[in-house]
């Protein structure tokens, strides 16, 4: 739990409020680079949540004053000490907010706290906002896997990013300094960006 958000396992009870939050995205753009969505009804999202709760990936609902999005751990490989953060479906109420940064920082920190050595971030190489988000959070670009998969009827080249356990302490300090209330003015504007802040 953070100061602005909490992460709770994705549950059937979240379907209705999540569908309401996602409905603000009237053209479905938020699901462009996901293999599923946009959801056409709360019932469809309920079916999705039910399946994911029973699956191998660990989905979490991001909650501020209400459920506003979800994310997951996937490609979970304890023996290799590797885990990926993905399936980010953030509603317009969460996108580009301090709460979104805090949610992802919490997920990265929890992975390392549980003994993982490597946290990965992968996205469609065409998904410029996701690439920028990865770099802003401190993930290092490791290359592009060409024609890695096909989804929604199109090819996907996958951009790979990662943070290693030895890199996280300095990044965690930067995240904490950026999230500190003193880094924001009375209107909520950041005084220093996450990329430039000195912890």
pLDDT at 1: 78
Q: Please classify residue 1 by burial: count the beta carbons closer than 10 Å to its beta carbon, then call 0-12 exposed, 13-18 middle and 19+ buried.
A: exposed
* The pairing of beta strand 118-124 with beta strand 154-164: antiparallel
Q: Answer whether residue 199 shows pLDDT above 70.
A: no
Mean pLDDT of the chain: 95
pLDDT tens per residue across span 97-130: 999 999 999 999 999 999 999 999 999 999 999 9
Query: Quick one: tokens of 142?
Result: 């490791």
Q: Answer whether residue 22 shows pLDDT above 70.
A: yes
pLDDT tens per residue across span 38-89: 999 999 999 999 999 889 999 999 999 999 999 999 999 999 999 999 999 9
HSE at residue 86, side-chain half, CA atoms within 13 A, is 21
Question: What pTM value is reported for the model?
Answer: 0.95
Q: Answer whether residue 189 shows pLDDT above 70.
A: yes
């Amino acid at each position: 739990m953070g100061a602005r958000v909490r992460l709770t396992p994705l549950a059937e009870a979240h379907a209705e409020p999540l569908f309401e939050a996602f409905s603000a995205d009237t053209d479905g753009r938020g699901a462009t680079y996901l293999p599923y969505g946009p959801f056409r009804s709360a019932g469809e999202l309920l079916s999705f949540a039910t399946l994911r709760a029973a699956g191998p990936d660990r989905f979490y609902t991001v909650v501020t004053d209400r459920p506003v999005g979800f994310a997951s751990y996937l490609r979970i490989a304890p023996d290799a000490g590797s885990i990926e953060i993905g399936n980010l479906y953030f509603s317009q109420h969460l996108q580009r907010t301090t709460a979104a940064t805090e949610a992802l920082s919490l997920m990265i920190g929890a992975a390392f706290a549980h003994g993982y050595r490597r946290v990965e971030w992968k996205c469609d190489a065409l998904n410029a906002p996701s690439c920028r988000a990865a770099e802003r959070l401190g993930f290092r670009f490791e290359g592009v896997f060409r024609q890695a998969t096909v989804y929604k009827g199109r090819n996907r080249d996958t951009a790979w990013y990662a943070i290693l356990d030895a890199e996280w302490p300095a990044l965690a300090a930067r995240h904490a300094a950026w999230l500190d209330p003193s880094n924001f003015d009375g209107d909520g504007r950041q005084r220093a960006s996450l990329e430039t802040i000195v912890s």
